[in-house]
Chain A
Amino acid sequence: EIVLTQSPGTLSLSPGERATLSCRASQSVSSSYLAWYQQKPGQAPRLLIYGASSRATGIPDRFSGSGSGTDFTLTISRLEPEDFAVYYCQQYGSSPPPITFGQGTRLEIK
């Protein structure tokens, strides 16, 4: 099983600041198979990034993804009030279970 570890667990920032969220895999992940989601309280997750760096439809360009191998990053260039939420990374691989998520990073207003 590929374990995804996200850091930090909680990130406290102010609107307008830059957020950098990390996702580290226990084994190499094909960069094509890494996605990021945003989840707000009481809501379903929303796809932000797929293929490590491709933005999903309708996602603002302040969101960007990067990385390869075992280290991946989600960057939010200038935080808007609506960006404060929990963020999850997710990978797809051949070893069972084929799909795993990180434990999440909570982005909170400072």
Chain B
Amino acid sequence: EVQLVESGGGLVQPGGSLRLSCAASGFTFSSYWMHWVRQAPGKGLVWVSRINSDGSSTSYADSVKGRFTISRDNAKNTLYLQMNSLRAEDTAVYYCARDADSPVYGIYFDLWGRGTLVTVSS
């Protein structure tokens, strides 16, 4: 089955760190760019970060730049998001999403995980 499964969320104090994982299965993970998208409680979707297929290129939303690091291990079919210096406004469900890899239609997301909740609170 083609799927993405996130893990690693939880409750963390402001200023703390957390590492999220996203396990991919059912497709050739190493061929796809991957993204993290988050959704604060009751709010809309916000793009966080992306990484290319071999991990050599990354980009970030301004709100997380310098604090979050996206990475991947293609041998383990796993995507990561290292989150440092966490703030209350980082509280959200974090989804990993597969880039559809379309040269014609730009970047859109054709496969999503179910998400993992990160709560930043003292």
Contacts and interface: CB of A to CB of B under 8 A. Distances in A.
Interface of A: 30, 32-33, 35, 37, 39, 43-47, 50-51, 54, 56, 88, 90, 92, 96-104
A39 B95 CA distance: 13
Given A45-B45, A101-B44, A104-B44, A33 B106 contact: yes
Contacts of A88: 44-45
Interface in B9-68: 35, 44-47, 50, 59, 61-62
Interface of B: 35, 44-47, 50, 59, 61-62, 95, 100, 102, 104-110, 112-115
Given A97-B47, A97-B61, A92 B114 contact: no
Nearest to A32: B105
B109 A45 contact: yes
B47 A100 contact: yes
A30 B106 contact: yes
